[in-house]
Structure formats: structure tokens, C-alpha cells
Structure 1
């Protein structure tokens, strides 16, 4: 990452929640109660019913309707998404998360749901150059097995977070060949297409009338926001739903430190080698030094849990 670049990030928290005090008859009614309670706790926010991705909607927290989290009106449970403003590592973003989850736990029930996930958006100002994005793309492909080890197995194969390596541009290539392919990408747009190409012959492609393969955002790392006219972010989509401030902070530090570390010139990857968890930790540690965003405490817990799973499977 160039010395004059500023790292920015945001988070989307999908939830299936119900009110402890009211039986709401609509999503908007539930969302309005949450909005008032958050405002009373000092969290500036607004309802964004249409999920409009304009700049104005990222000046404060917003509440949107999350259609991928089915409502259970009979149980007073509604799916919604809390979308953060644009943060930099210096912001008191962890304080926001702590306050938000105190409000949620005091006034609402948070139900576990396999439909919920946590998405982290990362960008730089000015926008990252193709050379930085290429370095990130290579790291994503190289470290995928290690990151999979840290996350629930259900998030390694979900339709909504598919492997970037499995897309039509790269699926027949070895990691070394993928690296070479990416190196020949002349600009950001070509890297986006290389990492997020989707088949026109897929059910989605046929249903929407595509005759050529196209860019789609259903991968573990969604590059489509970096297309011309996009929202300007790289999105990490693999994290599961979060039910605490600590959960969200873990996924933020994992994604942000990964991106920051991948852009550093000191990180050199051997595509012929086999990735290790120690290598991933080193990359994340480089990201911590660059951003100062955390001490990787949440990621350290993920490593401990992964170690227990590994020992149990032997």
C-alpha cells in the first residue's frame, strides 16, 4: 500500500431479531423501534428501506431490510441488516459495536440463523491501484485453505460465498498459473473480472438472459464493487452471522488486516508452496503493524478453536 493511501472499512451485520417488549406486525415497525433505541444510546442512525447505496447513507449507521434472512412473523422475528458508516482504523468503531450490542441484548432477542452473515468492506483513499489489487487477489487465492480453517465449514461452500478460485476464469488453473494470469491483468477492471467471473450458463445467468460470462458478487471476496460505477469497496463475504460485538470485531480485524498485509511489498508468496497457518498469521501481523487496528485477539481465538478441531479430527 502506498504511503499516502488511507485505509477505510465498513461492516454489514445481518440479524434475525425480535423485540422483547412488542409484537411487531411489520419489518418497518421493528426497525423503527431499534432505530429509536440506538439513537437514545448515542448511535446516530436512519432507516434505509430501499437499501440505497448512496454516499449519504454511509455517514452514520443505517438499518436495511435483509431479504436473504427470512422473517418469522409468527415468532416475532425479523431479518434486518445494520450497516456501518465508513470507518478508518482511528475511529472508535469498537465502542460503536459495544453500544449497539448492549442495545440489542437489552431490548431484543438475537436468534441464530444460518441465513445470517457478516460482511466487511475495505477500500483505500485514493482508490487502490491495480498493482495493490493484484497483490490482494494473489493472497486471497493462496491463503484460502488457511482462512477456511478458521471459519465454519458451512461458510466454505455456501452459494453466497463461493471460492474465487472456482470461477470460470481460474477454475482450471493451478495457483501458480492463477498468479501468472493475474500479473497479466492490465487494470483494476480486468482483475475484478478475473476474480469474480460467473458463468452465463448458470441458473442465475440463464434466468437473467446473459449470453456471456459476467461479473457477480457471490464469491468469498467480492470485487464487483470496484467496477466503474461501483461503491468502491472490496467485500469479504465469508464470515458467519455475528451475535456479539466481539464476533463482529473479529471479522473486521481479519479482513482489514488481511487486505493491509497483502498490499505490503514485504509479503512475498510462493505459489508452488503449501500455505501454512503460520504464514497467514504473519501476513495478518503485517496488517496490524500497517493499520494499528487491533491486536488480533479475536483472530487468536479463531486459531485456538481451529487447533482444537484439528486435534479432535486426528
Structure 2
């Protein structure tokens, strides 16, 4: 079972941000202001102009432009993203979040926006998740989806959520009941297909996107293709980059939980990180057992809490911390 040396994570915090004291002509001017204030508070960071995904950009916090968040220059508000370094699953990362949000609230205005989200990437270390572990996580993501939906606002679930659609909406699963989806994820692991083939089968089952979509037609797609950035769970980072250069994010070795809304306080960001990591770890034990006709209703909030508690125990965490706040606000 997992221990503290077997997982790591990164978080992307999208913000619609403005300075309390200065008028900035563009996002880059605001980013420079933010960068200097974070450095002064002891948070090493840099501005990543081109949103470069190379490993060097994950040694410290980085600030990037986020074009999916409409900026409001007339209100001195600009869309940007704070991207964390790769953290081990120890406790000290939460103090970094406290410092960052202290700086944000002291000198900036954080505007609530349905366009903002919080993305958590989780990976195994020193080796990536195996095909069997990835299958267990995929099954858990589908089974616990109804309970996870209750933790997020309406804009992050259902038809309103273009950038975090249900993984069951993809062409591989959309015609299937939940029990059939779980059975499919058991069956796509072919013992004779090798590790790479197994992983690719799972990614296709979770992240296939239709060629006849507006995006597919605009990009000349002739057949369904993998596109993880529109689903609640993006598995495409598990694809080998050498074989999947056309898939954005391939080769990272991470699974990304994309459903959480924007975080306006440190406890929200900490809660989503804790939930994502505990969910991944808990799924390693629970996922393989999921199946049968009685699963079609999906998980209850109580079942989700039990899964997260199991993951936290496996990680050696004493509690689920800020996750409690997420459950208290459950809709």
C-alpha cells in the first residue's frame, strides 16, 4: 500500500486578480507585481511567459497567463494561473499556500469567477502508476462521481461544465450504464498488450473525444481522438510522450483532477489538494473491487468520505484537514 514516499502532486490555481493599489495595463504587469511580492514573502517563483511545460518550470512556483479566464481591463482584473512546484505529500506545502494567499489578500483583489478552477496533478514516485492502479483509479472516478459532484458548484458539473465534462460523456462510455463502464475498464487491460498498451487503453476509455465535435472538425480529425483537458479526470499525462506527441500533456506521468472550482482562500486550495491525493491513494485499494449490477447509483457522500479516510490513513495523515470544509458546504 502507498506511503509518504510513493506519491507527489502539483496544483494549478486559476485567478481573476487585480491590484488594490496599482492600475496594470496588462496581465504581465500584474504578474511582475505579484512575483515581487511573493519573493519578498519567501515564495520562490518566476513568470512563465510561454506557459512552458518543461521540467525546469516545476522547480518553484510559476505565474502564467490563463486565456480561458476573460480579463476585465476596465476593472483592473486579469486572468492568470499560479502553478506550483512538484511537492511530495508531506505537510509543509500547506504553509506555502497560507503564505501565498496571505500575499494575495493583502495586496490584491480576488474576484469570484465561474471561469476559474483548481487543477491537481497526482503522480507516483519513483515509478508511475501501473496499468492496474490506473484502472482502479478510473473505476473509482466513475463510481464516486455523484458524490464528488455534490462538492462543487453547478458550474463545475453537468452541461455547464465544458472544461470538466463527465468522463462518461466520452465516445467510449457514453452509451453504457455505470456497471458496464466499470466492466469495460477491467477488460481493457490486456495481459498480452504490454504496459504501454494497457495504459493507452485506459486513457482511451476515459479521455476519448469525438471527431465530429466542433473542436474535432476545426482540427480536421477523421476519427475520435484523445483529449483530456475537457474531462473531470485527465489521464492523458500517463501516455508516453514519444508515442503521443499530438496529445497535449502526454509524458508527464500524472493524472489530473480538473473538476474543483477556483480557490479564493488557502483552505479551499488545501482541501482540493488533500482530497485529490487521498482519493487517488484510496482508489488503489477500493477500485479493483468495484463492479456488479448494484453500482449503478454511484457512491454516496458517506462512501466518498470513507474512501478519502482510507487514503489519508495509507498516507500517514492524521486527518483530512480542509476537506472537512468542502463537505460542510456540500450542496
Would you say same fold, with TM above 0.5?
A: yes
What pairs up with 1:27-46 in 2 under 5 angstroms?
27-46=27-46
Over the aligned positions, Cα root-mean-square deviation in angstroms equals 1.7
Distance 2:71 2:220 in 1: 30
Distance 1:287 1:2 in 2: 8
* Match in the other structure for 1:297: 321
* Match in the other structure for 1:98: 98
Residue 302 of structure 2: which of 278, 283, 298 is its match?
278
What pairs up with 1:131-170 in 2 under 5 angstroms?
131-157=132-158, 158-170=161-173
Gapped runs of 5+ residues in structure 1?
310-314
* Match in the other structure for 1:7: 7
| Maintained 8 Å contact 2:3/2:314 | no
Gapped runs of 5+ residues in structure 2?
190-197, 242-249
| Maintained 8 Å contact 1:175/1:271 | no
The 4+ residue runs of structure 1 with deviation greater than 4 A are: 1-5
The 10-residue stretch of structure 1 (273-282 or 114-123) with the greater mean CA deviation from structure 2? 273-282
Distance 2:269 2:4 in 1: 28
- Secondary structure of the residue aligned to 1:251 is helix
Q: Does residue 225 of the first structure (1) align with residue 225 of the second (2)?
A: no
Distance 1:164 1:118 in 2: 18
Q: Does residue 182 of the first structure (1) align with residue 185 of the second (2)?
A: yes
* Match in the other structure for 1:77: 77
Assess, with a 3 A threshold, how the Cα gap between structure 1 residues 95 and 66 changes in structure 2: closer, same or farther: same
Assess, with a 3 A threshold, how the Cα gap between structure 1 residues 292 and 262 changes in structure 2: closer, same or farther: same
Deviations along 1:143-166, whole A, 9 cap, x unmatched? 101111121122112000000011
* Match in the other structure for 1:210: 221
* Match in the other structure for 2:202: 191
Deviations along 1:226-251, whole A, 9 cap, x unmatched? 11112221000100011000010111
Normalised by the length of structure 2, the TM-score is 0.89
Cα distance, 1:294 vs structure 2: 6.0
Deviations along 1:54-100, whole A, 9 cap, x unmatched? 10000000000000011111111111000000011125110000000
| Maintained 8 Å contact 1:134/1:191 | yes
